[in-house]
Structure formats: structure tokens, C-alpha cells
Structure 1
Amino acid sequence: MIWIQPVNPLNNLTLSALVALVPILVVFWALVVKKTKGYKASLMACAVAIFIAVLVYGMPVKLAFLSIANGALYGFFPICWIVISAVFLFNITVKSGQFEIIKHFMAAVTPDRRLQAMLIAFSFGAFLEGTAGFGAPVAITAAMLVGLEFDALYATGLCLIANTVPVAFGSVGIPIAVASQISGIHEMEISQMVGRTLPILSVFTPFYLVVLMCGFKRSIEVLPAILVSGLSFGLLQFFTSNFIGPALPDIIAGVGSIIALIIFLKFWKPTTIWRFASEKPRIVTVKDNYTTTQVIAAWSPFLLLTIVILTWGLPPVKEFLNRYGQLQFNFPGLHNSIADQKGTLLPHVFKFNYLSAAGTAVFLSALIAIPVVGLTYKQGAAVFADTLKQLMFPIITIMSVLSFAYIVNDSGITTTIALLLATTGPLFPFFAPVLGWLGVFITGSDTASNALFTKLQYVTATQIGISPVVTVAANCSGGVVGKMISPQSIAVAAAAGNLVGKESALFRFTLKHSFFILLFLCLLVMGQAYWFKWIVPASTPVAAVNTVALNTALPGYTWLIILALIIAIFVALIKLTGRKESA
């Protein structure tokens, strides 16, 4: 039996949309007003969504619970799998002591606070967002800056603001993957559209950060360094997102901007060293001298991650791995059991691609890195167990948020809201980033926001006759601006910066900047929808270029053999050089 989604169950579109908004408002109320923990808020929202789907929309109870189960399963794999693997990789670096070398190396590059903020809060934070995400970048970079004697409020506030432009490509591109899954648009197309929006902010962000620290006049003193940092990041983010995919823009742009600025500082120095007025006259800076081998060994987990992820993203490799390591099945009782208002059956196919998943690539990188950083596999297993304990509640939160997303999409709730928003007509592109901003503010995650609203963005854009990739990408881009004021992000940053109890001050610090950047994005998306249509990627040619060119190259197993040889040579060189230096 096929159940058809009603789009106007109360025969009044405004009234139906108001009822449809209730589950979303429950999330807002639980997190903002009642200050409920994330996983509890999502579970409450799921319960309310089921209630409305069954009683108001007439969705069969069986379909409602199957939809919840499908969302939870997709939340666990591939999303939770990639989060677990990424945090495991980072924890290995911390447990082995290699992260201390990374921290000292970056801090010793320059004593100028303006340049340190660009290196750590902006570039290194983006790199961490690309590998781990989900709050880790702000926590780590804020702790680093406070450890370098930054003012605590400034340190945490700057890290929150800096952690905007990389969020859309965070955790090896998982927000884009979710947007693709929910909206039905190819993830490469979304990656390209986001990659033609955020680089504009990326170039501007370092200057924005420095002006917040020391004012316009003092910022001009380091303008050459600001331009090197922003332009290198923006250009690398653009090229990676447009020609490689959504998995590596943060990693490549973060590392690239760090290298570019470090090299530039070898030949250029600011005329004056700027520090906070409240600092002590004598500044304690890191003097440790590490050998090149020690520095490379410390960075090795992230270098290995970059190499493996890049290989895993090649279509021939994906095809080869899926041939031998993928289970695919139609979700029982749910597949093709629901039709939209046009009568189109909604497929629910679950792909368990356990070999080609990005999370598997990250996990493999972590396994290879364990002996390189000086740990045993027994110690690595203990770190993995600790990682699972650490992520217990985030895993529940992610699964429940995806369950919520699936039930509101399958029941037709998002379609109802979309139809009402479509009545705004040509103004809707202006509000598209606001939806993403609101979603991240509520959930604390661009991934969760995309799960909630990209279907709505797609349907509404189709209703008003503009390219849906513009509004779906706007959801991703708008979401990054909501990250700096999300209650969850504020809580993480306050804990890392020793500001527990002062969350309201931190919130006030970031709020106006969030509104300002959001307004800029709204105007930019409006322009993309109507006046700069040439910037929108064409889906068919893009798919043809990215698939045919790579598939006509080497077969997948050859790429994997080359990867294994590169890793073996890399690890052998580190080990041999380290032994010589020890001797």
C-alpha cells in the first residue's frame, strides 16, 4: 500500500505550516529556553514529529517508526563512523605527545599576537575542522591561544569567529554529503556551489579577526601577512572544492595557508610586535628546537589522512572498493511505500559501503599512524575505547537528529513549510542562508542543519523556478555563520578558554558578527540566484568531467598499490631518520 504525503493537511496552508513548525520550535525551545542537552532535545523533537505526522498528516504509525529507524541507521553510518574515526585520529596524536610538538612549532613561528591568531585560530582551526570537526577545532585552538597567554575572552571569541568558513567542508566533507543525501543533488555540484561562495569570506576573515583584536590602524601594519593568509586559503579552498570534491578543502586550504604564511614570515616581519595591553612585559614564548623529522612525525597522522582521503575520493578506487565491500538493500517496509504530492515514489535504499566510506579511510590513517607516533596497538585500542566513551552522547545526538530529519521529510512536514516559504516568491533566496543559520544555531552542527532543511531548500527553489543548488548550498554556507553563536559551540569554547560561567559575555561578543556576516551572505545568495547565474555549476557537464576523466585513468587497485608504496616509503623514512638522529 502506498501512502501519499498531504501537503496541506488542515486545508489552510498558513495554519498547516504553523503546525509543521512545531517540531522545529520544540528543538529551539528545548535548547535555548530550557537549556536541554542536545540528545534530549532531539529525542523530544522526534516524539513531537511522530505525533504530528501520525495525527495531523495521517502517516501510518508503521511508516513513521520505520522512517525514524532509517534516519538513525544513516546517522550511525556513515556519519557517526566518520566522526569516531576522525576524533580517534586526533586523540592518538594527543596521547602520543605529538600534538605538543605541533603546538610549540606553530607558536614559535612568530611572537606577534596578530600573526599567531591567523596561524592557530584561522588556518590550524580550519585544518582541524576538516579532520575532526564537531566542536573539536574551537576547543583545541582556544586552549592553545589561552596557553600562549592570550586574553581568554578574545581567544575563545576569535576562535569561534574563525571557525566559520571551514564548517561547510568539516569532518572530511560530511555536511556536503548529508546535504546531497537529503536533497538529491550530487555532492560534487553542492561542493562547487559552496566553493564559489565561502572563498569570498575566507579571503576577508583574517582581516576581520585582526581588526577585532587591535583595530584598523594596527591591522594595516600586517596587511601583507593578512593577504597571504586569506588569499592562499581562499584560492586553495576554491580549487579543491571545485575540482577534487568536498572531503579535502579545509585540510588542503588550512595546511596551505599555514605553509604560505610561515614561508612569507621568513622574508617579512612586521615593524612592531603587537601584544595585548594587559600582558606582562616579559612574554614567555616557546623556545623548543625540534628537528625536521620530529615535526614531520608529529604531523604524520594528518599527512597520512590527506594522502589516504585523496586516494579514497578517486572514482576508480571507490568503484573497486564497492565491488568487494558494499552491502546495499531497500529499507524493508519503507522503500517506495511513500509518494510525494506529485505521485513520485520515494526510494529508501541503504548503502553500507564499509570499504569506500570516508570514515574507513580516516580509520585506516589512524591505524597506520599508531606506530609512527610511537604508540603500540594495545595503547591505540585503549585510545579507541576512550574515544567511544567520549562520543557516546554525540553519537546519540547525531542519530536522533537524523531520525528527526527523516520523519519530517517523509511525512511531508518540510514540504508544507517549503510551500509557505515559496509564497515569498523572488525574495526566498535572500532567506535561504537564514534557514541554515537557524539550523546550526539550534543543533550546533552544519551536518544536522543540512539534514533538517536541505530538502525544504530544494523544494522551495523548485517551486519558485530558481536553481535548487543555489539554495541548498546557501543552507550550507549560512549554517557556518550560525556556528559561532550556537549554544553548544559557546559551551565548548567557554570550557576550553576557562570561561565557564561567562557564556553570556562570549555570546554577546560573537552575536553582532554573526548577524553582519549573515546579512552579507543573504545579499550574495540573492545575487547568485538572479544576477550572477553564470557562477552556478551546470550539473551534467560537471558530472561528465569529474567521472570520465578519472575513470579513464588507472584502475582502482593500481591506485591502492601506489598508495601503499607511498605510505611505506614515508613511514620508513621517518623511522630511519629518527634512528640516525637518536644515534
Structure 2
Amino acid sequence: MLEQYKIIIDPISGSVGLSAIAAALALVTLFLLLGVLRMKAWIAGLISLAVALVVAVVVYGMPVGQALLSASEGAAFGFFPILWIVINAIWVYNLTVSSGHFDVLRRNFGRISPDLRIQAIIIAFCFGALLEALAGFGTPVAITVVMLMALGFRPIHAASVSLIANTAPVAFGALAAPITALATVTHGASDHPGLNLETLGAMVGRQTPVLSIIVPLVLVAVVDGKRGVRQTWPAALVAGVSFGVAQFVAANYISVPLTDIVASLVATLAVVLLLRVWRPSESPDLSVSSETAGDGKAAAAVDGDTTVPATVGSGAATSTIERVEAEPRDSRADVFKAYAPYAIVIALFSIANIGAVKAALAVSPWTVKFQWPGLDVLTAAGKPQSSMMFAFGWLPAAGTLMIFAGILSAIVLGVRPGAALKAYVNTWVSLRHAIVTVMAVLALAYVLNQSGQTNTLGAFFAGAGGAFVFLSSILGWIGVAVTGSDTSANALFGALQVQTAARTGLDPVLLAAANSSGGVMGKMISPQNLAIAAAAVGMAGREGEIFRKVLGWSLVLLLFMCILVTLQSTPILGWMVVK
């Protein structure tokens, strides 16, 4: 039998302040390795995990066996359900690429409007949100930036637009993987009954939709300044409002994992319908010759590993209208097939979320719940740590549903079994470093939480009192800016937000949600996303230029979220908080 461990908050001389210095070592290490030394994320994650284990054993007195078991449980959760969702979702996307139907979808979007400002809304905001919903982890930026370049966007504009657009949908990305991580790490960090996927998703769904209204206006401002806003604000407003309303409704009343899928499709439909009765007063040709974008080639990297080559073109500059009209016309059957995978995903998840079906799948043998073998941790109050329980819902898991969606999509798209299997294997290979990174970060989070290091930091930050509600979004922003992932930031800081809330009298659900909602603005300035965007537009090594272009918007939107969350903690907007 392994020795039992009871969490302590002030292991160094009974001082929370001194103990907080030790508790912060692993996080500081991670931030320095990623943000300053620019080390590969998977290596930085493993080194930081090692630091957390040393602190847990040497400073907190956690038995080595319990520390390693905590790390193993976290790594397992990082794979299932988090990576299980990501891997299978990206496989579905890869099937559309290998079958050629992704190009059909791109051309279909391109014909909706020749105006580049409208294209920024449709491709970067609407379609980017759909990619974020299904895959996340850098995929939207990698793909949309190449599509924008192909339509004639200036390199710096293509990169900036894709990065800024990848904000509002991030909290629900990869079928709500960030919310799933948030719900898991906060469970047991407080006695609040609302720290679950549904409640946290609903709360985030009352914050990011407000942000969604602003983002499309920012996009057209980046592309064409004040003139762009003046001439295309109806389309930007329709896209933002429809996306925000759909995001709110889906997160609160339909399905948290389906939130971004529903919102992106509703926003796209709303813009398409608007364009049938309204057009901008003028559509200036803002495109440039592809010669100014480099040598005519672009490569979009996902998480630093997967490359998606795309030919931008070469030769004399042509207008956007000429470029779109020169492309082949697709049959209605091909267009139908291009949209089919997303319809299949929605159908499967809708069925799985029917009350009776959901309840049936939540019990054995479809879902198995057990205490992690050998792990024996007590809270500071002497109660069993609830995070020791592991739920293995192998059938109702979003990742498993995505496998079914992939099989059905392959049939509809006409992808042969051998080709589908090859695409699946290639997806695993391309994500090998991302797999290690996510598992290492979740292992780190579990060690921090179950050794008491998170409790120590929560007690320390509680000294900020009620002012912490303003800082909570900033903490999430820092986490995403450094790790490049809202999932990782939620894993690192979710429990800290909840424990600080409990000590300051603030609402744990509000602060946990603020960590995720505030974090989305850090996505556009994270080194990983900047590298993806720069590589895609032929500006590798010039990430600083793109960073300077988007930093101001990141800070402005962050300030907006900080104010919103602060007001939600008061009677002014307190009615927005999920009860």
C-alpha cells in the first residue's frame, strides 16, 4: 500500500507567501521556457512537470508514489478525453482535404462575395470558427490564412485577420475541449455544485458572445480601416450578432460541444442571406500580386509539426473577381458532399445529447468511473480528493462520436477504407508532439492541484480580495499567450481561479469561466500561433511584425472582457451569471 497524502497549503515555515514562491516555480519555468527561450512546447512541458514533481516531493512532502500517480492520472486525462477529441476531429478534416472537398468548400465561400472585407468575415471569422469547433490547436489559423492569401490578401493582413478572428470561438474549440478540461480540474477544488461541463459552458456562453459582436468589426477595420467599417458594418454586425446569439443559445440550451459548430453555421447563413439583399456601396480591389507575398508558396504549420502546403499563385496581379471567376464551378452534389461532414457531426452529437440517450450512455458499460489505482490524496480538510475519480466514457465521448462521424464522412465523400486509414495514421503522426505537450501539461496541472501547490497560490492571490475578479481574465490571457492553448491555460489555472474565488467570496463559476473567456485573447499573440501565421504567409522570422499588428487589439479586447467580468460580479450584470 502506498502512503496516504494530505494536502498542505503552507509547507515552508507556515508562510503562505514563502510557500507561494515554491508553488510558482513550475509555472514560471514553463513560461520562461516557452516565452523567453522559445523552447519546443513538448520539451518545456516535460521539464516543467519534472520541476512540479520535485517541489511536490521535496517542499510539500508528497510521497514519490503519490506524486507520480497524480502525474499519470493527469496525463491519462490529457489523452482521454482531450486528445481523443482533437485527433479524431482533425482526422475528419483531413478526410475532406484528401477527397478534394475542402477545396470545394473554399471555392463555395469565395463565390459568396468578391469583396475582400466580406471574405475576411466569412472565411476568417465564420469558417475559422467551424475549424476551431472541430479541431482547434492552431488549425483555423493554419488553414484560413492560406485561403485568404489565395484570394489576394496582403500577407500582413491575412495573418492579422486570421489571428484576430481566432478569438471568440476558442473557448469552445475542439468540441469544447477547453471547457472539458476546466470542468475536470475545478471539480473538487470547491464545494460549488456548478463546476461541471454544462454550467461552466453556459457561463462562458454568456461572456464570449458579447466579444463576438466586436470581432468582425475589428476584422474589416484591419483590412480596410475606417472605410471598411463604414461600408461593411451591416455584414460585420450581422455576422457578430448572429454568431453571438447562436453561441449563447447552443451553450446554454443545446450542447456545449456543439456550440461553435452551431454558431459558425448560423453566422455564415445569416451573412449569405444578407448579401442577397444588400451589397457594400463599393468593393475596392484590395488584393495584391502574389509576387509580393513571396515565391508563390505558403506552408501552414499546425502546432509546429503538420504542414499544409498551398500554392498562392504567381504572375501579374489579378482582381479578386477575376480570380474567383477563373476557378472551376462545382456541382451541387460536390457542394453537398463538402458540407456533409459537418452535418453528420451535428446529427450525431444532437442524438447523443437527447436526454434519454445521454442518460443511457452515462452508465456502465458505456461509461466506467473508478478511483485512480493507488492514488490516495486527502484535501486540506481531510476529505478524499474528488479529482482522484476518473470517468472513462468510451462510447459517449466526443472523440468516439467523431470516429463514427469520420467513418460516415468517408463513405459520403467516397474515400476508400485504405485511404481513410492512411489519413488516420498520418493524423496521429503529425500530432505526435502535440500529444506529448497536452499530456505533459495536464500531468503538470494534476500534480499542482493534488500536491497543494494550487491551493497555496490560491491563498496567496486571495490577498487581492475583490480586485481579483478584474485580474482573473488576465490570468487566463497570460496562460494562453504562453502555452498557445486555452485547454492548457484552463488546466493550469482553473483550480487556482476557483480556490481564490472561495477565499475572496467571489463566484467560482464566474472566475473559472473568466479564465477561459479571458484566455481567448491571448491566442493571437501566442508564439505558436504567430509562428503558424508567419510561416503561412511567407514571413517566417518576422513574427514580430505580426505581433505588433495584433497586440493592441489583444489588449483592447482583454480590457473589454475584464470590465465585463467585473460587472458580472456586481448587481449591474449579475443577472448574467449562471445560478
Match of 1:340 in 2: 379
The one of 206, 213, 228 aligned to 1:218: 228
Q: How far does residue 127 in structure 1 lie from its aligned partner after superposition?
A: 0.8
Match of 1:285 in 2: 323
Match of 2:431 in 1: 391
Contact in 2 for aligned 1:200/1:234 (Cα 8 Å): yes
Greater shift in the superposed pair: 229-238 or 271-280: 271-280
Contact in 2 for aligned 1:108/1:285 (Cα 8 Å): no
Residues paired across the two proteins, number: 536
Q: How far does residue 490 in structure 1 lie from its aligned partner after superposition?
A: 1.0
Contact in 1 for aligned 2:151/2:323 (Cα 8 Å): yes
Match of 1:564 in 2: none
Match of 1:580 in 2: none
Q: What one-letter code is carried by the residue in structure 2 that aligns with 1:346?
A: Q
Partner of 1:247: helix, strand, or coil? coil
Alignment of 1:65-84 (within 5 A): 65-84=68-87
Name whichever structure is richer in helix by fraction: 1
Cα-to-partner distance string for 1:173-211 (whole Å, 9 max, x where unaligned) = 111111111112021111111111111110111111111
- TM-score of the superposed pair, with normalisation by structure 2: 0.91
Q: What one-letter code is carried by the residue in structure 2 that aligns with 1:458?
A: V
- Distance in 1 separating the partners of 2:185 and 2:68: 18
- TM-score of the superposed pair, with normalisation by structure 1: 0.90
* Percent of pairs with identical residues: 39
Greater shift in the superposed pair: 9-18 or 50-59: 9-18
Match of 2:4 in 1: 2
Alignment of 1:119-158 (within 5 A): 119-158=122-161
Partner of 1:424: helix, strand, or coil? helix
Cα-to-partner distance string for 1:497-518 (whole Å, 9 max, x where unaligned) = 2221111111111112111111
Contact in 2 for aligned 1:114/1:274 (Cα 8 Å): no
Q: How far does residue 281 in structure 1 lie from its aligned partner after superposition?
A: 5.8
- Distance in 1 separating the partners of 2:374 and 2:58: 20
Cα-to-partner distance string for 1:202-253 (whole Å, 9 max, x where unaligned) = 0111111111221223311112212211111111111111112311111111
Cα-to-partner distance string for 1:146-188 (whole Å, 9 max, x where unaligned) = 1111111110111101100000000111111111111120211
Q: How far does residue 79 in structure 1 lie from its aligned partner after superposition?
A: 0.9
Contact in 2 for aligned 1:312/1:358 (Cα 8 Å): no
Cα-to-partner distance string for 1:257-290 (whole Å, 9 max, x where unaligned) = 1111112111211121123275546444223322
Match of 1:55 in 2: 58
Greater shift in the superposed pair: 287-296 or 503-512: 287-296
Match of 1:118 in 2: 121
Contact in 1 for aligned 2:182/2:490 (Cα 8 Å): yes
How large is the RMSD of aligned CA atoms in angstroms? 1.3
Query: CA distance change for structure 1 residues 66 and 215 in 2, over 3 Å: closer, same or farther?
Result: same
Partner of 1:355: helix, strand, or coil? coil
Partner of 1:329: helix, strand, or coil? strand
Greater shift in the superposed pair: 100-109 or 206-215: 206-215
Partner of 2:24: helix, strand, or coil? helix
Partner of 2:370: helix, strand, or coil? strand
Partner of 2:157: helix, strand, or coil? helix
Q: What one-letter code is carried by the residue in structure 2 that aligns with 1:270?
A: P
Q: How far does residue 350 in structure 1 lie from its aligned partner after superposition?
A: 1.6
Structure 1 gap segments, 5+ residues each: 539-583
- Distance in 2 separating the partners of 1:406 and 1:323: 26
Q: What one-letter code is carried by the residue in structure 1 that aligns with 2:396?
A: S
Match of 2:302 in 1: none
Partner of 2:279: helix, strand, or coil? coil
Q: What one-letter code is carried by the residue in structure 2 that aligns with 1:115?
A: I
Q: What one-letter code is carried by the residue in structure 2 that aligns with 1:109?
A: I
Match of 2:183 in 1: 180
Contact in 1 for aligned 2:152/2:287 (Cα 8 Å): no
Q: What one-letter code is carried by the residue in structure 2 that aligns with 1:7?
A: I
Contact in 1 for aligned 2:498/2:508 (Cα 8 Å): yes
Partner of 2:380: helix, strand, or coil? coil
The one of 28, 33, 39 aligned to 2:31: 28
- Distance in 2 separating the partners of 1:399 and 1:180: 17
Contact in 2 for aligned 1:111/1:285 (Cα 8 Å): no
Match of 2:405 in 1: 365
Contact in 1 for aligned 2:152/2:288 (Cα 8 Å): no
Q: How far does residue 81 in structure 1 lie from its aligned partner after superposition?
A: 0.7
The runs of at least 4 aligned residues of structure 1 exceeding 3 Å deviation read 277-284
Q: How far does residue 536 in structure 1 lie from its aligned partner after superposition?
A: 1.0
Q: How far does residue 319 in structure 1 lie from its aligned partner after superposition?
A: 2.7
The one of 207, 214, 227 aligned to 1:204: 214
1:471 aligns with 2:474: no
Q: How far does residue 123 in structure 1 lie from its aligned partner after superposition?
A: 0.5
- Distance in 2 separating the partners of 1:442 and 1:150: 28
